[in-house]
Amino acid sequence: MIGLFTADEVRAAEAPLLAATPPGTLMQRAATGLATVCARLLGSTYGRRVVLLVGGGNNGGDALFAGASLAGRGARVTAVLLDPQRAHPAGLAALRRAGGRVAAAGDRGTDQLIARADLVLDGMLGIGGRGGLRPDAAELTRAAAEGAGITVAVDVPSGVDASTGAVDGVAFPAMHTVTFGAVKRGLVVGEGRGHAGRVHLVDIGLAPHLPPPGVRQLTDPDAAARLEPPSAGDDKYSQGVVGVVAGSATYPGAGVLCTGAALRTRPGLVRYAGAAAEGVRAAWPEAIVTAGRPGEAGRVQAWVVGPGMGTDDAARDVLAEVLATDVPVLVDADALTLLAREPGLVRRRSAPTVLTPHDREFERFGAPVGADRIGAARRLAAELGAVVLLKGDGTVVADPDGTAFVNGTGTADLATAGTGDVLSGIAGALLATGLPAAEAAAVAAHLHGRTGQLAARRGPLIAGDLVRRLPEAVGRVRGIPVDGLGDSGA
């Protein structure tokens, strides 16, 4: 797993390393890694135009030393200084010795210089930056956004809160972020995720000094380890039985999608109970379907309740019946609306519960998400004693004990009707296998995002595309080629 850290955690880890190494060692490690990534992005460095946007302090020093390295390889490097009096003196001297040029923000022709650059390197603010950009930094950011060059941020894009991903106004639009020592949380969650682009981690020796991460991100191998294939001794009951309560007679789609996603995630058995029974039975003869109440469906190891089932008194009674069971329950969509009115239904549970709100559904529990998405999910999880899967770009999963995950997969194409029903089906199937609730939710988000990425390759996706491509996504996460569903045409 990838550990995700706050700015304070990174600074605390740097302190003993700075004390144990000669002055400037960490900066040279960072600048060398930064220059290596930039050279790789450029393809060749000789004659390429590179502009450094340089603030004061160590972040600007990293940019200047990296610029000196690129100039030494034949690049035409110009540093635009926000405050010439505060520029890192050793970095500035190194750049000049390598043949780099220096200009000041506001000088005539700066915008044109940035517009013509092959690469623009953002070293204006570091991980300690707070609040919005000053007008001169905002103007340089605007010029970089309008230019055609590759945009690269040093450690964290200027204007992004390194710990939360919050953006107050303007932030540097990086296509790539080269971060040092540890991945900062703000690069993978909230608005910061959209400004960071692809994140490259440079090892500067911090790992032994970092605390155990309270927030992590799964990789494909992490997810694969929790998607165990059936063994020779398994049967349909030993692999997990998931129950689904979703959809209505008028709107069966949520039930069809949720049930299909649960089936495709490969539990041993899926039982459906609800008013969309006719539609679910027609779509998925593999499921055991009843039009009755959940208690009539038979024994399950986990329930999914809520998508498309309505919010009337009858739906409330069904929700209460499911939450009264002693098995894990995933609560989504309409059931979240009901639960926000009566949160005691989940607080009284001893078995695990997973709630899957998007931002508007989250707000019904009393407060908006705000800029700190990890903090918000953690607070609601602790308040209700349930795992919270806060959906969005960089989905956050928070356990009541404070452990959290930020999802690293997905695509904006998933913002379409029905995809949340698919996510619920995946997560319910994983809960039924016995995975801890927070891990089941995190793996479901990872697999859902991977499936969306595969489906989006063929053009605009609909929720049904996710159900169809789930087997391929599972295979790819496991690193196993899927016959007949390979790369051709994907």
pLDDT at 230: 78
Q: Please state the residue numbers annotated as binding site.
A: 58-62, 122, 126-132, 155, 158, 254, 308, 358, 391-395, 420-421
How far is 287 from 136, CA to CA, in rounded Å?
62
How far is 212 from 403, CA to CA, in rounded Å?
11
For the chain, where do the domains classified as CATH 3.40.50.10260 start and end? 2-213
Which two three-digit tokens encode residue 279?
């539609």
pLDDT at 481: 65
Q: For 310-348, how does the pLDDT look when each residue is reduced to its tens digit (9 = 90+)?
A: 999 999 999 999 999 999 999 999 999 999 999 999 999
pLDDT at 234: 75
pLDDT at 157: 98
How far is 229 from 246, CA to CA, in rounded Å?
27
pLDDT at 482: 55
How far is 306 from 319, CA to CA, in rounded Å?
8
How far is 302 from 471, CA to CA, in rounded Å?
21
pLDDT at residue 489 greater than cutoff 50: no
Is residue 170 within 8 A of residue 159, CB to CB? The reply is yes
446 membership: H or E segment, kind and range: helix 437-456
Q: For 191-202, how does the pLDDT look when each residue is reduced to its tens digit (9 = 90+)?
A: 999 999 999 999
Q: Please state the residue numbers annotated as binding site for (6S)-NADPHX.
A: 58-62, 126-132, 155, 254, 308, 358, 421
How far is 3 from 463, CA to CA, in rounded Å?
31
Is residue 82 within 8 A of residue 49, CB to CB? The reply is no
Q: For 438-453, how does the pLDDT look when each residue is reduced to its tens digit (9 = 90+)?
A: 999 999 999 999 999 9
Strand partners, 129: none
Strand partners, 245: 305
Which two three-digit tokens encode residue 270?
């899926």
Mean pLDDT on 465-488:
78
What is the residue-averaged pLDDT of the chain?
95
b/e for 141-155, b at 16 or more Cβ within 10 A?
bbbbeebebbbbbbb
Least confident of 101-105, 154-158, 235-239, 282-286: 235-239
pLDDT at 250: 86
**Percent helix, percent strand, percent coil in the chain, to nearest 5:** 40, 15, 40
Q: For 167-211, how does the pLDDT look when each residue is reduced to its tens digit (9 = 90+)?
A: 999 999 999 999 999 999 999 999 999 999 999 999 999 999 999
How far is 193 from 469, CA to CA, in rounded Å?
26
Q: Please state the residue numbers annotated as binding site for AMP.
A: 391-395, 420
Q: Is 344 helix (H, G, I), strand (E, B) or coil?
A: helix
For the chain, where do the domains classified as CATH 3.40.1190.20 start and end? 220-478
Mean pLDDT on 21-30:
96
Q: Please state the residue numbers annotated as binding site for K(+).
A: 59, 122, 158
Q: For 242-273, how does the pLDDT look when each residue is reduced to its tens digit (9 = 90+)?
A: 999 999 998 899 999 999 999 999 878 999 99
Q: Give the architecture-level CATH label for domain 2-213.
A: 3-Layer(aba) Sandwich (3.40)
* Domain topology for 220-478: UDP-N-acetylmuramoyl-L-alanine:D-glutamate ligase (3.40.1190)
pLDDT tier at 130, thresholds 50, 70, 90: confident
* CA pseudo-torsion sign 291, 296, 299, 303: positive
Q: Where are the alpha helices (DSSP H) in 82-186?
A: 89-97, 110-115, 135-146
